[in-house]
Structure 1
Amino acid sequence: MGLYARKAEEMGITTVMVTLIPEIGERLKIPRTLYVPFRLGRPCGEPFDLETRRKVVEKMLILALSPSGTHGTY
C-alpha cells in the first residue's frame, strides 16, 4: 500500500497511512504515516471502541493537512 500512496501523492492525491510497525513506513518512504500502538489486525483500535476510532481518524485528517514526509504517533 505504501507504493500506491507514493504514486497517488505524485498525482496530487493526499494520502495518510496507518501502520502498526513504524519501520515499514520509514523503509517505504510513505508520504504521511500515523503510527498506532494497537494489536496487529486492529489498526484503529478494538471493535466498537468508537472513541478511539474517532481519535485515529482525527489524527489522520490532521496529518492530511501536513506536508509530505510528516509522521505522527497516536
Structure 2
Amino acid sequence: MNIKENDLKTYISNHIGACIEEGKEKAKLTLFQGQVAEAEILLSEMDYTDIYIHWSEKNNNYVAVVYNINK
C-alpha cells in the first residue's frame, strides 16, 4: 500500500469515526476522480457496502455517501 492509499484509508476511517461519534447514520466523503475506485475497495474491506457515489457539480468532485455506519 503506498502513502496515497494509506492517506485515503485514514481519511475515510477518521471521517466515518467522527460521524459515528456525532450519532449520525451516514457519512459524506469528498473524493477526487482518481480516488473513487480505491475508496469503493477500501469501504468494502471495512464492511461498508451501502454506498452511493455521485458527481457534485457544485464542488466539482465526487461525493460518496456511506449509509448505515452505526452497525
Normalised to the residue count of structure 2, the TM-score between the two structures is 0.37
Normalised to the residue count of structure 1, the TM-score between the two structures is 0.36
> Which structure: greater strand fraction?
2
